[in-house]
Amino acid sequence: MSGRRTLKLIHFGGTAWLVLCLGYILITTLRQAGVNWWIIFSLSGHSALVILLLVSLYLFAIFRGVGESRIIEAEHPLTSTSYYTALYLATPFLGCLAGCLGMIGVKGAEEFFVGIALGTLGTTFLAWVIVDPAAGMLEMLFPPSRRHRTERLARIRAIRQKRQEKRANLLDRVLAEEQEQRRRWQEALEPYAQKLAELLIGKENDYAKTECEAISIGVSAWQMGGRGCMEQLRDMALALYQERSGSPVVCDYVSSWWDGIGNWRYTSFC
């Protein structure tokens, strides 16, 4: 049996025993308070599912940590060893043993089992909540651990900064390409913009012919660069129209004429 599987089994058994001790102490306390069995069974029926869910999440998180090699072994030379991990996971069983030794001489079965359960809870709390964090903090005081942690954090910052620079360079390149594309469109669309401005000025002469010519220009812009190219052409045409006519645009006839070309859709602001 591999060491990883052994650690998982130890932790599963230790957690199951810890939960069993908790349940036994809770039931014993309720019985001593005079609570009837049917009330206890009703409460346990609703809470069993919640306890099972919490234990499952806890085991999943711990199993991932136990099964994978730690990347900070140099910072935690003691708590990252397999012996310490096995001792940590077997703490509920050690607490059970301590409870058995502490209850030697007790004749009552109920008191004996309560002592075992309390020994399990007390030892587990002491090891998991007090001793283990204290050991981890003590390890970080060693010069090699502090030096390794400083180097590791510096590498992480360097990697993060490199990624940020890479994203910034990519964004700058995309913006530069977009600006270059718009510049090329500006040159290519100038004749079309001149024509569209003329169509807007003389649209009342022959509206049907004007609309057909505008649609043809819109199709050419769509084939050249899609909706972005069409938007740039419309803006250029409207600017020329205002410059030549001396009046602001009241209704966006260009958008109306181009409705249905590609993914262009007309929204009136008249």
Residue of 234 and 54 predicted with greater confidence: 234
Q: Which helix (H) or strand (E) holds 114?
A: helix 109-125
What is the total residue count of the chain?
270
Long-range contacts of 204-213 (CB under 8 A, 24+ apart): 211/257
Nearest alpha-carbon partner for 59 in 18, 29, 23, 24: 18
CB 108 within 8 A of CB 116: no
**For the segment 185-195, what is each residue's pLDDT rounded down to a tens digit?**
888 889 998 88
Q: What is the pLDDT of residue 64?
A: 46
Mean of per-residue pLDDT scores for the chain: 79
Nearest alpha-carbon partner for 189 in 253, 128, 234: 234
Rounded distance between C-alpha atoms, residue 170 and residue 261, angstroms: 32
Nearest alpha-carbon partner for 37 in 46, 28, 48: 28
3-state secondary structure of 263: coil
**For the segment 9-53, what is each residue's pLDDT rounded down to a tens digit?**
887 888 888 888 877 777 777 666 665 554 545 545 445 555 555
CB 85 within 8 A of CB 66: yes
Q: What is the pLDDT of residue 36?
A: 58
What is the pLDDT confidence band of residue 69, given thresholds at 50, 70 and 90? Answer: very low
Q: What is the pLDDT of residue 171?
A: 93
For residue 66, pLDDT beyond 50 = no
DSSP state string for 24-73 = HHHHHHHHHTT--HHHHHHHHHHHHHHHHHHHHHHHHHHHHHHHSPPTTT
Q: What is the pLDDT of residue 35?
A: 57
Q: What is the pLDDT of residue 67?
A: 40
Rounded distance between C-alpha atoms, residue 101 and residue 105, angstroms: 9
CB 188 within 8 A of CB 236: no
